Amino acid sequence: MVSRIPALLLAALVCAGCTPPCSDGSMLESEGGLVVVRDEHPDAWERSDCTTCHALDGLHRQGCAAVDLAAVREQVAADGVDGCPACHGPMGVQE
């Protein structure tokens, strides 16, 4: 347990501005809907490693949209962060 503390502290420092999904209501009610826009995620804009703040195994446990969450979780397990842009846009990352 002691070895996990530095990692947790680092994650807290790196992601101080991150908020849980749907914390401000449904993503569909936001400016970009499921597509994340710069104003909603300024600290992560142009970053391709979503796992800096979001643990893959913790994603899509609650729904912000009427989707088949089990299917979405399977897709995340198969594609990892490479699949994020399919639903959430490119986050300013150039391909």
Establish if 94 belongs to a structural domain: no
Give the tens place of pLDDT for each residue, 34-56. 888 898 888 889 988 888 888 88
Band (pLDDT 50/70/90 cuts) for residue 27 is low
Burial class (CB in 10 A: 0-12, 13-18, 19+), 21: middle
Establish if 17 belongs to a structural domain: yes
Q: How far apart are CA 9 and CA 35, in angstroms?
A: 29
Establish if 29 belongs to a structural domain: yes
Count of structural domains, the chain: 1
Establish if 93 belongs to a structural domain: no
Establish if 14 belongs to a structural domain: yes
Range of the domain at 73: 4-88
Indicate if the pLDDT at residue 88 is higher than 60: yes
Q: How far apart are CA 51 and CA 41, in angstroms?
A: 14
What single-letter amino acid sits at 90? Answer: P
How much is the pTM?
0.63
Establish if 51 belongs to a structural domain: yes
Establish if 60 belongs to a structural domain: yes
Establish if 22 belongs to a structural domain: yes
